[in-house]
């Protein structure tokens, strides 16, 4: 058997991250009540590759794992044990503290977004883009049009703190936000 190259090892780690996320989210659906949840983290990762042209394995692993700590029984220590300290750090930066009230968590995203690492900013931008595009085609169960509009406006506040990270993601976010008459400050 031949020794694996660094790129082979990275690809193997990325496949393990996708599998880990799929198992962690296996019983979850998106807020529309129909779509398998795993479509979201895979879509976030895919957007990073296709639109942002990001090929950094740690960033891509973090993208596919970004909701596991927040929305499953996975701990941040589990992330580090399986994927290392760098992936752990990125995931931690984009994970909300679910012990806090929802409005406080949302405000903390606005406050913290300018101060997270470049990799975490990429994951956050891709996550917002995926969610906004999703809202344009599928309204979550129980959401009104006003709530969708509020999500777009709040997302713009978070995105404002991430500007300067990736031109392609930011241009697409500006285009999508404009569909709901929302603009960025920058």
Residue 103 above 90 pLDDT?
Answer: yes
Q: Residue 61 in contact with residue 17, Cβ under 8 Å?
A: yes
Selecting among 9, 67, 70, 172, the annotated active-site residue is 70
What is the spatial distance between Cα 180 and Cα 133, in angstroms, rounded to a whole number? 11
71 is catalytic: yes
Give percent above pLDDT 70 in the chain. Answer: 96
pLDDT, average across residues 110-129? 98
pLDDT (0 to 100) of residue 126: 98
Q: Which residue bears the tokens 């809202």? A: 135
Q: What is the DSSP string of 21-51?
A: HHHHTTT-B-TTSSSBTTHHHHHHHHHHHHT
Selecting among 71, 80, 96, 107, the annotated active-site residue is 71
* Residues in the chain, overall count: 186
Q: Residue 44 in contact with residue 130, Cβ under 8 Å?
A: yes
Per-residue pLDDT reduced to its tens digit, 2-15? 666 677 788 999 99
Per-residue pLDDT reduced to its tens digit, 55-69? 999 999 999 999 999
Mean pLDDT of the chain: 95
Residue 87 above 90 pLDDT?
Answer: yes
Reported confidence tier of residue 165, pLDDT bands at 50, 70, 90: very high
**Structure token digits, residue 158:** 């978070």
Residue 1 above 70 pLDDT?
Answer: no
Considering Cα of 38, then 76, then 63, then 153, what sign does the dihedral take? Answer: positive
pLDDT, average across residues 72-81? 97
Q: Residue 116 in contact with residue 128, Cβ under 8 Å?
A: no
**Structure token digits, residue 88:** 């752990």
Q: What is the DSSP string of 107-172?
A: HHHHHHGGGS-HHHHHHHHHHHHHHHHHHHH-PPTT--HHHHHHHHHHHHHHHHTTTTS-HHHHHH
What domains are there in the chain, each with its CATH number? 6-179 (1.10.3210.10)
Beta bridge partners of 29: 36
């Amino acid at each position: 058997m031949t020794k694996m190259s660094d790129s082979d090892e990275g690809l193997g780690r990325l496949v393990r991250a996708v599998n880990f996320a799929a198992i962690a989210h296996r019983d979850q659906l998106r807020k529309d009540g129909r779509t398998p949840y795993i479509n979201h983290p895979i879509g976030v990762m895919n957007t990073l590759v296709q639109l942002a042209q990001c090929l950094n394995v740690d960033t891509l692993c973090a993208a596919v794992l970004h909701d596991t700590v927040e929305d499953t029984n996975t701990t941040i220590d589990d992330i580090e044990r399986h994927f290392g300290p760098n992936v752990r750090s990125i995931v931690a930066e984009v994970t909300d503290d679910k012990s806090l009230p929802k409005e406080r968590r949302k405000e903390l995203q606005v406050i913290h977004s300018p101060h997270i690492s470049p990799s975490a900013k990429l994951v956050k931008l891709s996550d917002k883009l995926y969610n906004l595009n999703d809202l344009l085609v599928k309204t979550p169960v129980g959401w009104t049009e006003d709530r969708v509009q509020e999500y777009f406006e709040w997302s713009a506040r978070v995105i404002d703190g991430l500007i300067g990270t990736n031109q392609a993601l930011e241009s697409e976010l500006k285009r999508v936000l404009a569909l709901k008459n929302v603009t960025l400050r920058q």
